[in-house]
Structure 1
Amino acid sequence: MNDIRTILRQASERLGDRLDAEVLLAHVLDVNRAWFFAHADDAPPADALVRFQALVDRRAAGEPVAYLTGRRDFWSLSLAVTPGTLIPRPETERLVEQAIERLPKRGRLLDLGTGSGAIALAIAKERPDATVHAVDASDAALAVARGNAGRLGLPVTFHRGDWFMPVNGERFDVVASNPPYIEDDDPHLGQGDLRFEPRSALASGADGLDDIRRIVRNAPPHLLPGGWLLLEHGWQQGAAVRRLFDASVWADVFTAVDLEDRDRVSGARVR
């Protein structure tokens, strides 16, 4: 019998994940997951079942759920995502928290490597008094970010270019970034969702810190006096990132941990 209960059970067994099965079926039926509780005995339309089974096949082959549905929830936002953007992850919300905490009233914030626009848009939503800019080198990513901003009605100014280049001469109270930070030869790049995400948004040199070094080195002229640079990084990179902040230029160097008590965001205030 092809009722909702049976369909979800079979898909969950195949995928080894009930949540993935529910998210995919909810996407196909254009309902929320709570709908399933009241409609467990219903049979979905035949064409919807065909589309669902096709998505289950693709998920079983490893494609990320976010790319299959074209959506990812981040902060309090539902964001469009594509294979041209990194998939926003919960740990990046820690970077948003740190940025909001340090952004003064009517402050100026820059999001470097914005991807889908997740960081910039979350901050723009929480701090409507702020002026928010975002940069990305990818036309495909910027198209997604601009689309998200327009759909959500959030005022972010987007720039195309390499890190600070398109905002040359401008200064900010906070610069926040989730840059590439995985080692080029990390085997995880060939596993799970990472196989499908843009490598340019993931890997950065032999130790994963090439882009972070560039950002730290080039950030001071783009920060207002006492402004903060905040960087997301890998859970084993906290000490290495802190060492990049030269004490003659930076003060109040710190690392914040994520919900699993792992190093996740490091930053410092320019002198």
Structure 2
Amino acid sequence: MDAELLAAHVSGSTRARLLIADDPAAAQLERFDALVERRCAREPLQHLTGSAAFRYGELAVGPGVFVPRPETELLVDWALEHLPKGGTVIDACSGSGAVAHALATERPDATVWAVEIDPDAFEWLESNLDGTGATPVNADAIASGTLAELDGLVDLVTANPPYVPFEIEVAPEVSFDPSGAVYAAEAGLAVIQPLAVRASRWLRPGGWYGFEHDDTHRRAAPEILRVSGFTEVEDHDDLAGRPRFATGRLGLLP
């Protein structure tokens, strides 16, 4: 499949039309061979084509930004179910802007903010959110001053923070992602813990928070939500049956 996608990329065609396409020119074949060699070295396919499909859109990606994974679409499904009409959303640790892009384009009635601290990733984020109506913010999501003007007013917070523990073995493709977008100290909770507190301050009472976590965090992630003031806490598996993201609702005022 990767070879077919690379052939379609080089030819400017689609994968479905490869069977009826003309024979490649010599320059195209040379370029294709070079891309196949790079893919065999486990460079991400998305880096080679310059784009990543995510839900109904294509995102520009490359060195300096985390490549969005299909599993994150499950978090978007959940978010769309819990986003009220005309609601306000903050997507923290937004990276390429995949979640923010999906929410802004699929729910144009919503007000979407996308927060990313890394300046290299932020360039990709700005480009991907151009024309969507979402607002990119180059800031530290866990800092108390970030979007402090929205404290207590937000309906939904989403996040795909760095969460992989240092000792976890990952696929070779992950080495091409920025390490700061992947790893978060030995236990993988260095961002998850303070971000739950920050989300609780952004949210209005009854607002929802959902975030991705490592599959070793099945117990820790829900507990972090509970001690941060969230109720109706639930952990969700991905399509492979692995724990993927946790959600909770900020406790209502008495």
Bucket of the pairwise TM-score, normalised by the shorter protein:
over 0.9
- Partners of 1:76 and 1:248 in 2: CA distance: 34
Which residue of 180, 184, 206 corresponds with 1:204? 184
* C-alpha distance in structure 2 between counterparts of 1:89 and 1:270, whole Å: 27
- List gaps (5 residues or longer) in structure 2: none
**Alignment correspondent of 1:246:** 226
After superposition, what is the alpha-carbon deviation per residue over 1:245-268, rounded to whole angstroms, capped at 9, x for unaligned? 235722111112211222211011
Residues 109-138 of structure 1: per-residue CA shift (max 9 Å, x gap): 000011111000001111110000000001
Q: Is the 8 A contact 2:66 2:95 kept in 1?
A: yes
Aligned twin of 1:157: 135
Which residue in 2 is equivalent to 1:124?
104
The 5 Å alignment of 1:92-241 reads 92-150=72-130, 153-165=131-143, 166-170=146-150, 171-188=153-170, 191-241=171-221
Partner of 1:23: 5
Of residues 254-263 and 79-88 in structure 1, the stretch that sits farther from structure 2 once superposed is 254-263
Matches of 2:161 and 2:139, distance apart in 1: 14
Percent of aligned pairs with the same residue?
A: 39
Q: Could you report, residue by residue, the CA deviation over 1:161-200 in whole angstroms, capped at 9, with x for unpaired residues? A: 1114331231311110010110112232xx4211111000
Greater helix proportion:
1
- Determine the structure 1 residue equivalent to 2:64: 84
8 Å Cα contact 2:200-2:228 kept in structure 1: no
For 2:129 and 2:250, locate their aligned partners in 1 and report how far apart those are by CA, in whole Å: 30
Paired with 1:57 and 1:246, the residues of 2 have a C-alpha distance of: 48
Match of 2:191, SS state, is helix
Q: TM-score of the superposition, structure 1-length normalised? A: 0.87
**Cα RMSD after superposing both structures:** 1.4
Task: Give me the whole-angstrom Cα distance separating, in 1, the residues matched to 2:57 and 2:233.
Answer: 30
User: Could you tell me which amino acid in structure 1 is paired with residue 217 of structure 2?
Assistant: Q
Distance 2:227 2:99 in 1: 28
Unaligned residue ranges in structure 1 (runs of 5+): 1-18
SS of the equivalent of 1:251 reads: strand
- For residues 77 and 94 of structure 1, what CA distance do their matches in structure 2 show? 15
Provide the TM-score with structure 2 as the length reference. 0.93
Match of 1:60 among 30, 40, 55: 40
CA distance change for structure 1 residues 225 and 88 in 2, over 3 Å: closer, same or farther? same
**Mean Cα displacement is larger for which, 161-170 or 205-214?**
161-170
How much has 1:32 moved relative to structure 2? 0.5
- Structure 2 Cα separation of the partners of residues 261 and 158 of structure 1: 33
**C-alpha distance in 2, partners of 1:213/1:247?**
10
| 2:140 aligned partner, one-letter code | D
Counterpart amino acid of 1:157? T
Partner secondary structure for residue 182 of structure 1: coil
Distance 1:204 1:67 in 2: 23
Task: Provide the C-alpha distance between the structure 2 equivalents of 1:62 and 1:79, rounded to a whole number of angstroms.
Answer: 20
Distance 1:113 1:231 in 2: 10
Secondary structure, counterpart of 1:230 in structure 2? strand
Q: How many residues align?
A: 247
Q: Highest Rg: 1 or 2? A: 1
* Letter aligned with residue 110 of structure 1: I
* Structure 1 runs, 4 residues or longer, greater than 4 Å off: none
